[in-house]
């Protein structure tokens, strides 16, 4: 196990860019800073190099816009190994975008709150880390305020995402139902991802047409949240995204209590209560026994099981009864002896594809959340199984981006897909081993 941990440390140090102070998720394939990657990477660094962990978060939060928004990709350097780059995204169209950094005009799951609390819990020198947290926690609070004030048009306590890239689960089969309602033009562009990774493991050209078209609509309206809520063909309340916000609210409450800021604590508690209530009344699917996405544009639930369906465990959202039903469904459909936990999409669905990115493979970040969520609800053995499965797939294949969920595929060590030496796979392995 020591060998695996040392290898993980090497991967993280290899992806660290000291001059600016951030990590790339993966050389060549993802040559910039990504929002939720950065947060999860900081958790790994916190175990062996707190300076880098702090710098990672400092750099991320420095990119915040005047309205509290934090972008999903920050283009710190020029690179032609990634498409679409800053000239396509044009974040400068938004009147409050950062003058210092070029970025996208979309965001990603808000992990920063719970990352700060994790860093505090990991730290040996608590006073030093609390000082660091104090210096920038208000930026995270401001980010949550942005979400509640700009991404919740019906005032439900649930925030929307307007693009599949905001979800983090880019080409999930769940989005197929939304693509069916759209007919974007055929764009002409040069893909770069498929020069680094086998095309069969990545989204299709037609899927990319949809991705670009939604951005074009947002750009036409200078990334106005209001206009996006009114016009974007993609407008979804995502259980994973909202669970990350709720988990981060919880952490901010804990941290502000330590810092003695009762005003912020009260506001966060108010948001939190409303969010949890709506989450449970709107996103739980009784028949499926777990949480699902809600398509606001077409006013319908998207009734599919995915690893996102179980992520609310991590944020303490379900009642113990609901948690029991979720665990039962998870074990029945995703957890048979021939499977590694946890496939990213329902293995019993005809849309399941165990090799293709977010259409089925196992991802270490979701496994890490599920492990912690299962522990939180007292499912010790299943939490251990998730941990054990994660360690085994990393040991057999290396620090890939995603992995085949079928055990039989791991016999020759070629069941790791996407990018290799992938940062969050390494970072969260380090945390799982602690
Ligand atoms: C993947 O997404 C990017 C776009 O954001 C891409 O495919 O080009 C996703 O897995 C996302 O969740 C992740 O943050 C990003 C970088 O690792 O890669």
**pLDDT tens-digit map of 42-79:** 999 999 999 999 999 999 999 999 999 999 999 999 99
- Cβ atoms within 10 Å of 273's Cβ, excluding its own: 12
pLDDT of residue 2: 80
Atom from ligand 1 closest to the CA of residue 29 = 8
**What are the structure tokens assigned to 318, written together?**
């379900």
- 255 pLDDT band, cuts 50/70/90, is very high
Q: What is the dihedral of CA 135, 376, 265, 270, to 10 degrees?
A: 130
* Whether 149 is catalytic: no
Going by CA atoms, what residue is nearest to atom 17 of ligand 1? 25
pLDDT at 431: 98
Ligand 1 atom nearest to 357, measured from its CA:
10
Confidence of residue 345 (pLDDT cuts 50, 70, 90): very high
- Assign 274 to helix, strand or coil: helix
CA 241 to chain centre: 7
Query: Considering the chain, what is the average pLDDT of its residues?
Result: 97
Ligand 1 atom closest to 167 (CA): 12
The answer to whether residue 124 scores a pLDDT higher than 80 is: yes
Token couple for 21: 């102070």
Domain 2-433 belongs to what topology? Glycosyltransferase (1.50.10)
- Read off the pLDDT band of 411 (50, 70, 90): confident
Mean pLDDT of 90-117: 98
The pLDDT of 247-275, averaged and rounded, is 98
Closest ligand 1 atom to the C-alpha of 36? 14
Q: Is 37 in the pocket of ligand 1 (CB under 6 A)?
A: yes
Residue 207, ligand 1, Cβ within 6 A:
no
- Look at ligand 1, atom 5, and give the residue with the nearest C-alpha: 165
Share of the chain above pLDDT 70, in %: 100
- Stretch (H or E) spanning 284: strand 284-285
Q: What is the pLDDT of residue 307?
A: 98
Q: Contact 355/361 with Cβ under 8 angstroms?
A: yes
298 burial (CB, 10 Å; 0-12 / 13-18 / 19+) is middle
261 in catalytic set: no
What is the mean predicted confidence (pLDDT) over 157-183?
A: 98
Mean pLDDT for the stretch of residues 303-332: 98
- Report the distance separating Cα 366 and Cα 246, nearest Å: 16
For residue 165 and ligand 1, the question of a CB distance below 6 A is answered with yes
CA of 286 to the centre of ligand 1 (A): 31
- Rounded to the nearest whole angstrom, what is the distance from the C-alpha of residue 35 to the centroid of ligand 1? 10
Tokens 């990393």, located at residue: 394
- The structure tokens 């089925």 sit at 360
User: What is the Cα–Cα distance from 88 to 79, expressed in whole angstroms?
Assistant: 13
Strands 293-295 and 22-23 come out as unpaired
Which pLDDT value is given to residue 424? Answer: 98
Percentage of residues in the chain with pLDDT exceeding 90? 98
- E strand or H helix that includes residue 22: strand 22-23
Asked whether 85 lines ligand 1 (CB < 6 A), one says no
Beta strand 284-285 with 290-291 is antiparallel
Q: Where are the domains of the chain?
A: 2-433
Which residue's CA is minimally distant from atom 10 of ligand 1? Answer: 168
Contact 289 CB / ligand 1 (< 6 Å): no
Pick from 125, 127, 123, 117: which is nearest to 47 by CA?
123
Q: pLDDT tens across 418-427, in order?
A: 999 999 999 9
Which residue among 12, 34, 89 has the greatest number of ligand 1 atoms within 8 angstroms of its CB, and so is best to mutate? Answer: 34
Q: What does the pLDDT average to over 132-148?
A: 99
pLDDT digits (tens, 9 = 90+) for 145-158: 999 999 999 999 99
The mean pLDDT value for 315-340 works out to 98
- What is the per-residue pLDDT for 412? 78
Does the C-beta of 30 come closer than 6 Å to ligand 1?
yes
Please tell me the least confidently modeled range out of 123-132, 193-202, 304-313: 193-202
pLDDT confidence of residue 123 = 98
> pLDDT tens digits, residue range 3-42?
999 999 999 999 999 999 999 999 999 999 999 999 999 9
Return the DSSP state at 134.
H
Q: Which residue, judged by its Cα, is nearest atom 7 of ligand 1?
A: 170
């Amino acid at each position: 196990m020591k060998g695996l941990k040392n290898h993980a440390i090497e991967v993280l140090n290899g992806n660290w860019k000291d001059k600016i102070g951030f990590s790339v998720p993966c050389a060549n394939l993802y040559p910039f800073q990504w929002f939720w990657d950065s947060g999860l990477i900081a958790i790994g660094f916190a175990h062996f190099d707190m300076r880098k962990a702090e710098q990672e978060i400092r750099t991320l939060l420095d990119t915040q816009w005047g309205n509290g928004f934090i972008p999903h990709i920050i283009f710190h350097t020029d690179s032609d190994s990634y498409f679409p780059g800053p000239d396509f995204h044009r974040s400068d169209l938004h009147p409050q975008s950062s003058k210092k950094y070029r970025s996208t005009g979309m965001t990603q799951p808000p992990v920063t709150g719970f990352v700060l609390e994790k860093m505090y819990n990991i730290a040996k020198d608590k006073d030093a880390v609390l000082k660091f947290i104090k210096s920038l926690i208000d930026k995270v609070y401001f980010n949550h305020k942005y979400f509640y004030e700009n991404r919740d048009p019906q005032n439900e306590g649930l925030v929307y995402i307007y693009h599949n890239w905001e979800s983090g689960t880019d080409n999930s089969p769940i989005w197929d139902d939304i693509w069916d309602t759209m007919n974007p033009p055929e764009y002409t562009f040069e893909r770069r991802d498929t020069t680094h990774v086998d095309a069969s493991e990545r989204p299709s050209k037609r899927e990319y047409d949809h991705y670009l078209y939604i951005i074009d609509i947002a750009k036409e309206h200078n990334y106005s949240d209001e206009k996006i809520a009114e016009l974007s063909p993609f407008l979804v309340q995502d259980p994973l995204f909202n669970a990350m916000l709720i988990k981060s609210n919880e952490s901010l409450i804990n941290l502000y209590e330590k810092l003695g800021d009762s005003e912020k604590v009260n506001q966060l508690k108010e948001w939190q209560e409303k969010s949890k209530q709506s989450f449970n009344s709107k996103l739980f699917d009784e028949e499926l026994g777990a949480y699902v996405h809600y398509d606001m544009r077409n006013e319908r639930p998207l009734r599919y099981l995915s690893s996102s369906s179980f992520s609310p465990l991590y944020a303490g959202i379900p009642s113990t009864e609901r948690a029991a039903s979720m665990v039962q469904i998870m074990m029945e459909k995703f957890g048979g002896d021939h499977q590694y936990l946890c496939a990213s999409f329902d293995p019993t669905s005809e849309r399941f594809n165990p090799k293709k990115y977010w259409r089925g493979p196992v991802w270490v970040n979701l496994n890490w959340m599920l492990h912690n969520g299962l522990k939180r609800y007292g499912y010790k053995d299943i939490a251990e199984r998730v941990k054990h499965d994660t360690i085994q797939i990393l040991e057999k294949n290396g620090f890939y981006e995603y992995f085949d969920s079928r055990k039989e595929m791991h016999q020759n060590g070629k069941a790791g897909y996407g990018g290799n030496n992938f940062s969050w796979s390494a970072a969260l392995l380090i945390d799982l081993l602690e």
